Amino acid sequence: MPETVDFIPFVNWPTWLEGLIVMAVVYFAFVSVLAMFFIWWERKVSAHMQSRLGPMRTGLWHGWAQSPADGLKLLGKEDLLPDDADKPLFRLAAYLAFVPAFAALVVLPFSAKFVFVHEMHVSLVFIFGVLSLEIVGVMLAGWASNSKWALYGAIREACQVVSYEIPMGLSLLAPALTVGSLSLAVIGANQGAGLHEWLMFRNPFLFVAFFVFFIASLASCKRAPFDLPECESELVAGFLTEYSGMRWAMFFFAEYTVMYIIGALTAILFLGAWYDPFGIILGMEQAGQSWAAAVAGAGVMVVKGFTIVFVQMWLRWTLPRLRIDQVMYVCVKVFLPASCITLIGSAAWQWLAGGLFQQITQIVLTVLGTAGGLYFVALLARALVKPGQGILPTIITSWHAEPAPAPVAPAAAEEGQANG
């Protein structure tokens, strides 16, 4: 197993200042496009799940320009600050939520070559820490708004954070411990040989850790069923109640960017990072085609990240929301012990298991995981291929072809129709 990875830097930055400028431009563009795409995509996904079409008019093709148009509208809105708000904090909160999402991308590898800060050996810890900063922005937003609903949103976020961060952190440690590195690049580089080498399938504890991590990560993205800080049916809009215009959009950009980061992180830690399931990209790397492998790997990485984002959307538009005590119960009483067990279990597994037993376990888990994945793909395919359940019957469409529906009864004409 590779202990370290020799990164060939994307470009050699002579000075940190140039690097900073390039990062600001490139990543800001990337984050904006990504967030706008996700917002559009979420609207389309939700629409198709609800037998609607979603945005169709803005732009020529399937309303692709809806997100830029919305962004333009939000830019043009009045810069509104509530009178009683703590104005500096109110302003600061939006940036404090946005910047960490941006910063986390810096160490997120897209493939063996494409990573901005490649010397970072603790990138996993860095991402986890930086993402936690976003929460400060959310809590600050709720506090500074000086609105009771926003305060509720902020306090709920705080409750949620103390509940999900520990199981999430512990379940992150299990793959790191199995590989023996906190560098995302090294963790990723260890999973290239094929589906069975993906960390999720290495041992049963990692298999469980994947699910714990995924569910806890939903909470960290504030996605349903853990969208309590902003749940609009209880708290109006939670911590976002007093926000509008571009500042509100900042939170959304942050949310959607974090969704991708979490998706990519899940892929790197558990789902084979930038390698395909059949070892083709690893083969390319070993054959010396490192650039081709890097490009293909980045493509695979994006596909995996988007798939996980899609699952997050799928869950959001299917499930009701938990109550705050249930969130805390699930995280503290179920996931916390589970993640402790996965951590200890993975450690013990490293020590004890090996040889044939290890291989058999990997094969069994791979088959299990693949079957589960295929089951959900089949569910989706069924919905796409057999849309009959979501399509309206002919009642509406055939109706207008009919002659004038109900003839007026003679008595009605007599009365002269007093109704309005």
Partner 1 sequence: MREPGESITTPGMIIPDPVNVDALREGAGELRTEEMIINMGPQHPATHGVLRVILRTDGELILDAIPDIGYLHRCAEKIGENVPYTQFVPYTDRMDYLAAMNNNIAYCLAVEKLAGIEAPPRAQYIRVIVAEMNRIASHLVAWGTYGLDLGAFTPFLYAFRERELILDLFEALCGARLTYSYMAIGGVRFDATAAWCDKVREFLDYFEPKIAEYNELLSFNQIFIKRTANVGVIPPDRAIAYGLSGPVLRGSGVKWDLRKDTPDLVYDKMDFDVCVGDGRMGKVGDCWDRYFVRVLEMVQSARIIRQALAQLPAGECRAKVSRAFKPPVGEVYYEIENPRGQLGFYIVSDGQAVPYRLKARGPSFCNVSILREIARDCLLGDIPAIVGSIDVVMGEVDR
Per CB under 8 A, which region of 42-50, 68-76, 290-298, 351-359 contacts partner 1? 42-50
Could you say which of 36, 324, 331, 365 contacts partner 1 (CB under 8 A)? 324
Residue choice 78, 79, 83, 415 for contact with partner 1 (CB under 8 A): 415
- Joined together, the tokens standing for residue 420 give 């309005």
Q: Which of 22, 69, 155, 344 binds partner 1 (CB under 8 A)?
A: 155
C-beta of residue 290 within 8 angstroms of C-beta of residue 220: no
Q: Which of 60, 371, 396, 401 binds partner 1 (CB under 8 A)?
A: 396
Taking CB under 8 A as the binding criterion, the range among 128-136, 232-240, 339-347, 357-365 that sits at the site for partner 1 is 232-240
- What is the three-class DSSP state of 410? helix
Out of 22, 27, 32, 49, the only residue in the binding site for partner 1 (CB under 8 A) is: 49
371 CB-near residues (< 8 Å, 6+ apart):
none
Give the count of residues interacting with partner 1 (CB under 8 A).
51
Q: Segment near partner 1 (CB under 8 A), from 55-63, 121-129, 175-183, 403-411?
A: 403-411
Q: Which of 60, 352, 401, 408 binds partner 1 (CB under 8 A)?
A: 408
Between 231 and 265, whose beta carbon lies closer to partner 1? 231
List CB contacts of 351: < 8 A, sequence separation 6 or more.
none
Binding-site string for partner 1 from residue 60 to residue 99, where x marks contact by CB under 8 A and - marks none: ----------------------------------------
171, 217 contact by CB (below 8 A): no
**Amino acid identity for residue 290 in this structure:** S
Binder of partner 1 out of 4, 286, 318, 359 (CB under 8 A)? 318
**Following DSSP, what letter does each residue of 278-335 receive, concatenated?**
TSHHHHHHHTT-HHHHHHHHHHHHHHHHHHHHHHHHHHHTT--PPPHHHHHIIIIIII
Assess 384 for contact with partner 1 (CB under 8 A): no
232: contact with partner 1 by CB under 8 A: yes
Nearer to partner 1, 217 or 361 (CB): 217
| Stretch of 44-52, 171-179, 286-294, 371-379 lying at the interface with partner 1 (CB under 8 A) | 44-52
- 97: tokens are 């939520």
H runs (alpha helix) in 180-236: 184-189, 204-220, 232-235
Nearest to 164 by CA among 330, 341, 338, 344: 330
Which position among 90, 98, 149, 275 is part of the footprint of partner 1 (CB under 8 A)?
Answer: 149
199-228: which residues touch partner 1 (CB under 8 A)?
A: 224-225, 227-228
* Nearer to partner 1 among residue 313 and residue 336 (C-beta): 313
230 binds partner 1 (CB under 8 A): no
- Report the distance separating Cα 281 and Cα 273, nearest Å: 11
Interface with partner 1 (CB under 8 A), residue from 57, 77, 148, 333: 148
Out of 12, 60, 233, 385, name the contact with partner 1 by CB under 8 A. Answer: 233
Contacts 24+ apart (CB under 8 A), 353-359: 353/203, 358/203
Only one of the segments 74-82, 209-217, 285-293, 400-408 lies at the binding site for partner 1 (rule: CB under 8 A); that segment is: 400-408
Three-state secondary structure of 369-384: HHHHHHHHHHHHHHHH
- 413: phi > 0 → left, psi -120 to 50 → alpha, else beta; which? alpha
Q: Is 99 exposed, middle or buried (0-12, 13-18, 19+ CB in 10 A)?
A: middle
Q: 47 or 69: whose CB is closer to partner 1? A: 47
Q: How far is CA 133 from the centre of its chain?
A: 17
Evaluate the CA torsion angle 337, 339, 343, 345 in order and state its sign: positive
What residues make contact with partner 1 under the rule CB under 8 A? 46, 49-52, 148-149, 152, 155-156, 224-225, 227-228, 231-236, 317-326, 389, 392-396, 399, 402, 405-409, 411-412, 414-416, 418-420
